Amino acid sequence: METLVIIIFVLGYLAITLEHNLKIDKLIPALAMMALLWAVIALNHMPVFEVNAELKELEPTHIDEILLHHLGKTAEILVFLLGAMTIVEIIDYFNGFATIKGFIRTRSKKKLLWIFTSLGFILSAIIDNLTATIVLITILQKVISDKEVRLWYAGLIIIAANAGGAWSPIGDVTTTMLWIGDRVTTVELISRVLLPSLVCFVVPTFIGSRLKAFKGDLTTSIEEETESKSKFSATMLYLGLGAIVFVPIFKTVTHLPPYVGMMLSLAIVATFAEIYSGTKFSVSHVDEESDAASHHSPVHSSLSKIELPSILFFLGILMAVAALESLGQLFHFAEGLNSAIPNTDIVVMLLGIGSAIIDNVPLVAASMGMFSEGLDDPLWHFIAYSAGTGGSMLIIGSAAGVVAMGMEKIDFFWYMKKISWLAFLGFGAGAVALMLLRDYVLA
């Protein structure tokens, strides 16, 4: 029966990886795979285990208990993500991200590159790399009219956003998983991964700024702001970002799960959103559409826009990986892998390279079941870095890359030819920086 479980997992994983070829949303095979795996386990009364991290051994348990345990851990991540997504949508409801465009005044291609990539690195650490990429490419489309030029900027933004998400517990789903799963703490993650992530972002941007695509100035003028803007845009931007940043502080002080702090932050942001919504639009810009919008709750509007397919995908893939973990297969696979490749640094770097081909969420979920190292072990910091930044090497290797591919119609082979080598150099340079920092500075 274990062979059947592995076949179901491999087929489901393959369907997720080939979602663009099959034209089937990846949430469908993820949910089907999860349900089938647990059904096979239940119908065949297969023994299930819980990993004892301290003793590094498997302890027998009952299927109801282990299923509830994994569902609880998965729900913590999903509720956290729902709160973060809603806050971001509330900011967007007030057109808060338009405030960022006001900082962009130069026409120098090189300066614009550093501005956009720096914003990508910083924003992704707060609002996650996927959202940061959407925001910046939306602004990019209003600033640069030449599509060929925009493609280059989009490629470097992907690298910067993924690098920025790797060092923050709220910057990427994978780092959030490690944080909520008590594999890393906020302070240690930042102190050990920030510098390598910075190297991963600076090296490609520095080399890219020397390329022909970023020479000279823009030939077309920067588009002036024409859309109506709420007088609370800047306030809601700073309030929303501040509320998200507050979550790790809340966890450190109270020692409660992160989703509790995120719900408090959402409540605060939602309160101000409701107060401001009555006067969201300037009297001089009132029209039928804005007048109608002002009578709707910004919270309800924001909740209707969040990415529920992504939430369901995470539910499916995390519970599917949990099934393999409960059978002890990941534990035994890790033992075999350590025997075959004793150097864990090589294993983790291969995981990073693999994340460019395979979704990094199941890879990290699997690694959490494979390894039993304790809180803030250097292994987890390396995994956070590798899984977060490795996906930049292919356009389909990260959520940021996929959304940029859709927004700008970036060709897979164009990205591989023009951007992948820059992402690889950044990934390698950052990995070297992390190992030097770990072995000689923070040893």
**Whole-number Å distance between alpha carbons of 170 and 174:** 9
Question: Is the per-residue pLDDT at 282 higher than 70?
Answer: no
pLDDT in tens, 219-275: 754 455 545 566 888 899 899 999 999 999 998 899 898 899 999 999 999 999 988
β partners of residue 60: 49
Kindly report, residue by residue over 20-75, the tens digit of the pLDDT: 788 888 889 989 999 999 999 999 988 888 866 555 667 788 999 999 988 998 89
- Find all residues with CB under 8 Å of 60, minimum gap 6, and list them: 47, 48, 49
Contacts 24+ apart (CB under 8 A), 415-421: 415/155, 418/151, 418/152, 418/155, 419/155, 419/156, 419/158, 419/159, 419/395, 420/393, 420/394
Q: Is-contact 171 186, C-beta < 8 A?
A: no
pLDDT in tens, 157-198: 999 999 999 999 988 888 998 999 889 999 999 999 999 999
**Degrees (nearest 5) of the Cα angle 392, 395, 401?**
75
Q: What is the pLDDT of residue 287?
A: 44
How far apart CA 60 and CA 366 sit, in angstroms, is 20
* 50 membership: H or E segment, kind and range: strand 48-52
- The highest-confidence range among 17-21, 172-176, 295-299, 336-340, by mean pLDDT, is 172-176
Query: Which pTM does this prediction carry?
Result: 0.79
* Strand intervals (E) in 53-116: 57-61
Q: Which of 46-50, 97-101, 200-204, 389-393 has the lowest mean pLDDT?
A: 97-101
C-alpha 336/C-alpha 339 separation (Å) is 5
For residues 435 and 196, give the distance between their C-alpha atoms in angstroms, rounded to a whole number: 9
pLDDT above 60: residue 217: yes
Query: pLDDT tens across 240-253, in order?
Result: 999 999 999 998 89
